[in-house]
Amino acid sequence: MKNFAFILVLLNLAASALGQVTYQNLLEADREPGNWLTYSGGYNSQRHSRLEQINRDNVPDLELKWAFQMRTLEDVETTPLVVDGIMYLTEPPSNAHAVDTRTGRTFWSYTRELPDETHTCCGQVNRGLAMLGEKLYLGTVDAFLVALDAKTGSVLWEVEVADRLEGYSITVAPLVVKDKVIVGVSGGEFGIRGFLDAYDAETGKRVWRFYTVPAPGEPGHDSWEGDDWKTGGAPTWITGSFDPALNLIYWGTGNPSPDFNGELRPGDNLYTDCVIALDADTGQLKWYFQFTPHDVWDWDAAQIPVLVDAEFEGRMRKLMLWPNRNAFYYVLDRETGELLLVKQFARQNWAQGMDSRGRPIIKLEALPTEKGIIIWPGIQGAMNWFSPSYSPLTGLLYFPVRHVPTFISTGDIDYDPGAMFLGSRWTGMPDDPSWASIQALVPQTGEVKWEYPLHRDVWTGLLSTAGHLVFGGSVEGQFFALDTATGEELWRTPLGGMVIAAPVTYLTDGKQRVSIAAGNTIFTFGLD
């Protein structure tokens, strides 16, 4: 027992000797591919690594190095951070661990005691952490933001972001920008009024808040009627991106409330189903783009903005790439919000097309009724919260695609704080010919270069590398690597649990590793 205690002391000393994460590190994350410093790998959210030790030639030789099993039966959606040989990861509902990337041995664990009553629509999940200096930042399902000591896991401060009894929770991985922690909220199915917050990273004091449903007198309020804005939804439950040169934070917003019965909330319902561009210092809105005005199909724009500087129609542009839940792919100018391209990428039956501004021309027969309709894509969308990837080597955007319908019907509903506020009934279509795939898209045109077929559903995030590989997984528990240029499957292995998270890659003792959550376990692979 004494020897074991001594080993733990040594491990904690090793952890304390390792480095901090500075804002400069975050700005230059792609220059230190041995670490994984943010939820999406860097501020541009390209999820591409310069590491190439594991490549298209030797990837068949990958083997399991270690596995870290969590103490939960909830879905594990975490994307770990890796800093100087330590992996920081979250465990549902609101716990965190620091583990040795060499062995998977635990340095420390933080377990949050939650109140009896919390409100989440889709499981008590958590998608990850943010880090600055020697502090880690964790959002909790009881709607707190917590700062942890990265050396010990002890709580340094915590602040209540919102009232959990009103339906608020936090499942998003925060994003550190300069000296601030940016965090969004979940709760679009509970009739919340959404917002995005910035907190001082050192003290936890709130610096600014941007409400995603405008109040009377605020721009965009005329897109609501009466008091509908008070329960308007527009949660901010997926991590956004940041352009340091423009000083703009880009964040997707969720569905309006109630989800399906639009008669209870006439108007476009800003800023639901939007990407919002906010000044990083003040939270002031600079521009927005609404993908699905007056959404009645639950198509959150909770996707991750992928930022790429590339040529578009003969000149260099600052682009934002966005395959949306509504089955259309968008390219925006991220300086101005100008729509540059919109093109369908998955099966849909709700829009005749788009006008010149990117506003959908909606088919009347696609609007939900009391009798019910079948809608493509279904309420989970053609694309959801899972992470896409962009490779600057191929110039291709990679993302999972779902071709899955839903049957929905409307109904009246009264708002009750903390209760589901949907305005409908819905069910899947088990006998329907659903399918899924990984697509590789030419960003400037929307042309599909290749497609890798999967079974009837997909929830994986993706990772591309300089080794000419795209890593991803399946709901059947397979972890695979594809050729970035052709989509050819080069390697796969069964993990025994659903993959509903995104892989990361990093260096351990100078050797490349790839880790992925499947089921309730983190699996780590490397070469012999």
> Which residue from 150, 137, 202, 135 is spatially nearest to 17, judged by alpha carbons?
150
Residues labelled catalytic: 298
Burial degree of 238 (CB within 10 A; 0-12, 13-18, 19+): buried
In this prediction, residues 176-184 reach a mean pLDDT of 98
* pLDDT for res 122: 82
Tell me the percentage of the chain whose pLDDT exceeds 70.
Answer: 95
pLDDT above 80: residue 422: no
Better pLDDT: 455 or 337: 337
**pLDDT tens column, 463-501:** 999 999 999 999 999 999 999 999 999 999 999 999 999
* pLDDT for res 16: 40
What is d(CA 398, CA 46) in angstroms, rounded to the nearest whole number? Answer: 10
In this prediction, residues 191-216 reach a mean pLDDT of 98
* pLDDT for res 430: 67
Place of tokens 């998608």: 127
* pLDDT for res 18: 55
**pLDDT tens column, 288-297:** 999 999 999 9
DSSP H helical ranges for 107-201: none
Residue 342 structure tokens: 């919109």
In this prediction, residues 167-183 reach a mean pLDDT of 97
* pLDDT for res 5: 41
What is d(CA 41, CA 246) in angstroms, rounded to the nearest whole number? Answer: 19
- In sequence order, the β-bridge partners of residue 39 are none
**Would you identify the CATH topology of the domain 2-526?**
Methanol Dehydrogenase; Chain A (2.140.10)
Torsion angle, alpha carbons of 36, 42, 45, 50, to 10? -70
* pLDDT for res 450: 98
pLDDT above 50: residue 396: yes
Where are the chain's structural domains? 2-526
In this prediction, residues 181-193 reach a mean pLDDT of 94
Confidence of residue 411 (pLDDT cuts 50, 70, 90): confident
* pLDDT for res 433: 77
Strands (E), 38-134: 48-49, 63-69, 81-83, 86-91, 95-100, 106-110, 130-132
**pLDDT tens column, 282-327:** 999 999 999 999 999 999 999 999 999 999 999 999 999 999 999 9
Strands (E), 327-444: 328-333, 339-344, 351-354, 360-362, 373-375, 389-391, 396-403, 406-410, 424-428, 435-441
> Which residue from 454, 443, 525 is spatially nearest to 487, judged by alpha carbons?
454
Model-level pTM? Answer: 0.95
pLDDT above 50: residue 15: no
Average pLDDT over the chain reads 93
